[in-house]
Every structure is written in C-alpha cells, then in structure tokens.
C-alpha cells in the first residue's frame, strides 16, 4: 500500500490551554494535505478553555475528558474515535512544533520500510531527547543512534507513528497517569516482537519539563512521577529509587536549589 498524508490519524492531547495557544494545533492547521476530520484533540484540561470551538473552526474531532484523567485514558479515548479502516496513528503533545515536511519525510520511511512503529528524532534544550536506550529497565539518552536496536530502544510519545493494527492487541495501561506511558508502550512492542524504525532524518523540537518546570509546578509534576514510577517499577524497587534519586539531583541542578531533595 502506498500511504499518503490523508491516511494519518492524529491524536493530540491538550492540557490546560486554549487551542489558539497550542503550537501543535496551529501548526497542524497549516498543513493542507491532512484530513482535518482525522485529527482528534483530547482535552485533559482541568477547566473550560473553550476548546470545543476547534470543531467549528478547524473541523477536528474533539473529546473532553472533563478534567485531567491521565494520558493513557486520553489516548484510549482517542483511539476509540478512530475509523476501523484507519492506517496510521500519530501521537502529539500540545507544544510540539511540526511542519508538513515531517509527514512527507515520515511517508518516505513508511512507504520504503515495513514496520509497526516509526520513531522521529526529538530534540530538547539539552540535545537529543528521543529515541533513548533502555538497559535493564532504566532509560537514558544516547549520543549515537546507531547503538539502538529493536531490543534496547525506547522513545517518547510525541511524534510517534504507529500502524493502527498494533492497537488490536494493545491498550494503554490506565494504571499509569503521565510518566513512563511511552516506555511502557515501547516495552510492550518489544515483547510482541514488533518492528521499530527510527526516522533518523525526521526531527521534532520538544520542551523537557525537568529543565523548564520550577517551583510549585515542578513539585506537582514530581509527585505524579513518583506514583507512576512506583507502578512501572512495581517488581523492581531498586530501579524506582535509582530513578527518583537521579531525577531529584537533576531538579536540584536545573533549579539551583536543594529543595527537591526533601520532596
């Protein structure tokens, strides 16, 4: 099958902002080849930001979660809206910059190399954020993509393209809330022996919360992280404490404060 831009279904989760303020939504609206009814905006906001107007102004599908129900529930609700004959599912956060060339380049990979999951290169304030390497359940950054393979790769959600047939045997784990949803997905894909391709020359820019968050927002974010890590590492407590300590030290460094050590 020769896939085209109109074959993409996009699930975009927006959180506590109006759609006019979402870089991703505004960028997608400029890409004329996308089928607008295939763009599904799932609203996890804790109050009304008047986002339902997306349907009238842009022609997207809109789902209100009536509060922040967590990323897995938002994804699963979005997947329920996808046509049974859908081909490609692309996930986006609400603050990822995306241009038409992203989809054009993705199609070159999809039409040229058979796989189940296609991973872009995502960069943030510190360098390459994704894809990552997962060794013994611990994820960390790599400088050289060539060290990654189907056994050790992990990646973040935003920009990930997934063949829709994958979701016949997979549902996002709603015991998680926000963190490690992506790594849990990748772990499952590897367990199912799914083929994963890195789109080496297809890049996105993403904000990294460890660097950008501070104060009260960082503390709330860290509380969510701890809960998700407890579930993800429920059978491996050593990794739970190891990741927590590393994250605290990272927050101390970027916030220039020792307060995260007592959280």
Q: What are phi and psi of 81, to 5 degrees?
A: -90, -10
| Span 42-98, pLDDT tens digits | 999 999 999 998 888 899 999 999 999 999 999 999 999 998 778 899 999 998 999
8-state DSSP, 136: T
Asked whether 230 and 239 are in contact (CB, 8 A), the reply is: no
Parse the chain into domains and list their residue ranges. 5-207, 211-262
- Per-residue pLDDT band at 263 (split at 50, 70, 90): low
Q: Assign domain 5-207 to a CATH class.
A: alpha beta
Asked whether 49 and 21 are in contact (CB, 8 A), the reply is: no
- Per-residue pLDDT band at 261 (split at 50, 70, 90): low
pLDDT at residue 211 greater than cutoff 60: no
Asked whether 59 and 36 are in contact (CB, 8 A), the reply is: yes
Burial of 8 by CB count in 10 Å (0-12 exposed, 13-18 middle, 19+ buried)? buried
Token pair 């499952």 is at which residue?
188
Asked whether 1 and 96 are in contact (CB, 8 A), the reply is: no
pLDDT at residue 210 greater than cutoff 50: no
User: Do β-strands 161-163 and 88-92 pair in parallel, antiparallel, or remain unpaired?
Assistant: antiparallel
Across 27-140, where does the E strand assignment appear? Answer: 39-43, 61-64, 88-92, 117-124, 127-130, 132-135, 138-140
| Span 216-228, pLDDT tens digits | 777 888 899 999 9
Residues 146-172, mean pLDDT to the nearest whole number: 95
pLDDT more than 90, % of the chain: 77
Q: What angle do CA 181, 161, 17 make, to 5 degrees?
A: 60
Instruction: Name which residue leads in pLDDT, 157 or 208.
Output: 157
Residue 226 corresponds to which tokens in the numbers above? 């701890």
119: β partners: 198
Give the number of other CB atoms < 10 A from CB of residue 56.
Answer: 9
Q: What angle do CA 195, 200, 204 make, to 5 degrees?
A: 105
């Amino acid at each position: 099958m020769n896939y085209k831009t109109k074959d993409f279904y996009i699930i975009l989760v927006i959180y506590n902002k109006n759609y006019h303020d979402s870089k991703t939504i505004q960028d997608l609206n400029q890409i004329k080849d996308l089928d607008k009814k295939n763009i599904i905006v799932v609203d996890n906001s804790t109050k009304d930001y008047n986002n339902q107007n997306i349907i009238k102004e842009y022609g997207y599908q809109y789902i209100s979660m009536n509060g922040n129900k967590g990323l897995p529930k938002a994804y699963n609700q979005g997947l329920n809206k996808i046509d049974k004959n859908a081909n490609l599912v692309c996930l986006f956060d609400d603050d990822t910059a995306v241009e038409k060339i992203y989809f054009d380049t993705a199609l070159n990979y999809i039409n040229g190399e058979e796989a189940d999951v296609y991973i872009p290169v995502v960069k943030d304030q510190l360098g390459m954020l994704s894809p990552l390497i997962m060794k013994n359940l611990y994820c960390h950054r790599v400088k050289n993509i060539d060290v990654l393979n189907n056994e050790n790769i992990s990646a973040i959600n935003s920009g990930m393209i997934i063949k829709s047939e994958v979701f016949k045997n997979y549902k996002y784990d709603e015991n998680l809330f926000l963190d490690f949803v992506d790594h849990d997905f990748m772990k499952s894909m590897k367990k199912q022996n799914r083929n994963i391709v890195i789109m080496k020359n297809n890049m996105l820019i993403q904000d990294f919360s460890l660097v950008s968050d501070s104060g009260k927002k960082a503390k709330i974010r860290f509380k969510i992280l701890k809960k998700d890590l407890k579930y993800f590492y429920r059978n491996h407590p050593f990794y739970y404490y190891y990741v927590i300590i590393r994250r605290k030290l990272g927050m101390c460094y970027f916030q220039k404060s020792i307060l995260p050590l007592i959280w």
